[in-house]
A and B are shown apart, each in its own frame.
Chain A
Amino acid sequence: MVETFQDLYLGFSIALSPQVLVYAFVGCIIGTLVGMMPGLGPLAGISLLLPATFGLNPIIAIVLLSGVYYGAMYGGSTTSILMRIPGEAASVMTCIDGYAMTQNGRAGPALAIAAIGSFIAGSLGVVGLMLLAPTLAAFALRFGPPEYTALLLMGFFILAYMSAGSMPKTLSMAGLGLIFGMVGIDTMTGYTRFSFGVIELGDGIGIVPVAVGLFGISEILLVAGAAEPPKVQRPKLRELIPSREELRLSVGPIARGSLLGFLIGIIPGSAHIISSFVSYGIERRISKHPERFGSGAIEGVAGPESANNSAASGAFVPMMALGIPTSPITAVMIAAVMVHGISPGPLLIQQQPELFWGFVASMYVGNVVLLILNLPMVGLFVNLLRIPYAYLYPCILCFTILGGYSVANSIVDVWIMLGMGVIGYLLRKFGYDLAPIALGLVLAPMLELSVRQSLAMSAGTYAIFVNRPIAAIMLGIGVLIVVLSLKPLISKRKDWRASVGLESEQS
């Protein structure tokens, strides 16, 4: 323990040097700006900046990139809250209640809680990373395809609590999302599915263009032509600060979100995306007033935002401790230090402690920087709402086209985005929830792959899912969730969901 603190002191002495601090600030600012671009998320942000870091020293490179990473995550939630445009998969859930809060004139508190929640979750995540990285990494490796399948199924069962609509509608939207997720080259066999000869679709449909189209563009289509234009918000300074009640309601979700996010984050793979969905589902389930969700519940912002930030820290555990890039984001981070001849991995902590501890400390510094940068900015961001909608929405559309194109220099993503805008618009007219589509799209490739991988491991026997203890326990919990969600249906005949109005019934 003492040793850990000595190492941490070493780390902070590096992270607090003026030069490193400047880069942390620069990274956070660039990240926030990139994240605020609709369609450009953390992955696009750090990929764009990666080449620029090749000329810097490795610690500064990784500080800069992690600043961009955190900044982009926060920037993404800003646009989600203010304009219903998710910058990345993790902010999809923030969109729903965050934007509803904006419409209720509570944009300021939503942004502030998002910043505070991200900060707390990020800090807890760093502590977890620092104390537990080597131990957890070894444990995380025991997560093979069967365990992954069980985890994803648990994420899927959360659907039952996720949306206000009727069950068949929610499930059909999840099914639609899963189908969108089937597009592209099948990993197991190399078949190209549903690509209609478009080579760009070989990699499947990305979550970012879909989320921007479904949530952002559909909103513009619905609102811009409405008979009466949306009223311009004139936020007062007093309304920027969360009320005591809002703070009280946020404590629980932030704490639960942080823990949940970190646990999901350490598992190798891209499962951390589902952490915000799961957190939203849990908060809704345990809330005494689930009907508030969807129409501006602060818990629906606090939980997912915290979960997604601590999942981001958790994802660094396998990266730093094992040197394995298990997700595209960590792959870019590893490349950033590899070009300096450093191979992250089991030997890194012993051979180059200053890099590991410098990184841990600078992550913490990055979180603080982000908080002091963004809390005062809340007032500034909220003023964006003063722009008349007739000016605002054309600019948002241009930003979405720019962002959609920049991610992979591909016009196909822009077309997907516009197409999803139409689909989202029509579905909302018919009273369908859109969030399950996003969850389905995110889950589909991972779920299908891990089921088929498990069967490849077991030569086709399903016993592999119950013979392995971790998988069996998680599946058991999943079944429990389903049973619990069915209970009110049976005992009271009527589900509480039925008494709740459909989300966003604009017609």
Chain B
Amino acid sequence: MQETEQAPEQAWRRLRNDQFSGLLLILFALYLYWENRAYPVGSLAEPGPGYMPLMLAIFLAAMGVLIIIFSGRSRLLEMKWVEAPHAVIVLIACGAAAFALERIGYRLTIIALLIFLLGVLERKRPLPVLIVSISFAMISFYVIGDLLVVPLPRSPWGF
């Protein structure tokens, strides 16, 4: 459990995995403290709405410090991010779908999302992609929207 040596010029490179995440936790705790100013803290006998968040901010910061102190065993910050570009694309696609859901309706959104993920990202053959995406959208809409009467969003064109 020794402190790691840090050459100032290469501090970033030499950061250990846990030192980095511990630092993030401390930053988050500070942000939480900042956000929490709006709420009255109250007293120990009568905790206000800001009491527990304040305690948690202090607790998180303390844990961040501990994680940094005990970070001797963890690996250097040299993670492989091979899957990251793919993950980002998937997330952006899902985000776009969430944005589109209430605007162009459930069925169109899901068809578009599936065609993108299967056809463009995974490069499957067009025919299976079309069959899967259209039938998925239709069947799921029928089961959830029609049978279970969930008001799934429809497009402005009623579809």
Contact = CB atoms under 8 A, between A and B. Distances in A.
Given A186-B49, A429-B79, A51 B149 contact: yes
Contacts of B102: 411
A444 B152 CA distance: 32
Interface string B81-117: 0111111001100110110011000100010011001
Which of the four size classes fits the interface of chain B? 35 or more
A48 B148 contact: yes
Contacts of B82: 225-227
B124 interface: yes
Nearest to B123: A390
Most buried by A among B91, B97, B101: B91
Given A225-B82, A394-B117, A421-B91, A169 B53 contact: no
A193 B98 contact: no
A225 B87 contact: yes
Interface string B39-74: 110010111111011001001100110110010001
Interface in A244-259: none
Given A224-B87, A425-B87, A406 B152 contact: yes
Which of the four size classes fits the interface of chain A? 35 or more
Interface in B11-59: 17-18, 20-21, 25, 28, 32, 35, 39-40, 43, 45-50, 52-53, 56, 59
A14 B82 CA distance: 60
A507 B80 contact: yes
A157 interface: no
Most buried by A among B48, B124, B150: B150
Given A182-B52, A430-B21, A397 B94 contact: yes
Contacts of A395: 114, 132, 136
Most buried by A among B17, B52, B106, B122: B52
B7 to A, nearest CB: 23
A461 B45 contact: yes
Interface stretch (A200-208, A233-241, A448-456, A471-479): A448-456
Contacts of B95: 418
A193 B49 contact: yes
Contact of A191 (B39, B64, B79, B148): B39
Contacts of B18: 169, 430-431
A409 B151 contact: yes
Contacts of B152: 402, 405-406
A481 interface: no
B94 A418 contact: yes
Given A397-B94, A397-B117, A414-B98, A172 B63 contact: yes
A188 B42 CA distance: 12
A83 to B, nearest CB: 15
Contact of A171 (B28, B63, B84): B63
Contact of A225 (B79, B85, B136, B153): B85
B140 interface: yes
B60 A391 contact: no
B118 interface: yes
9 tightest A-B CB contacts, nearest first: A225-B86, A460-B45, A225-B83, A172-B63, A394-B117, A221-B87, A168-B66, A186-B49, A191-B49
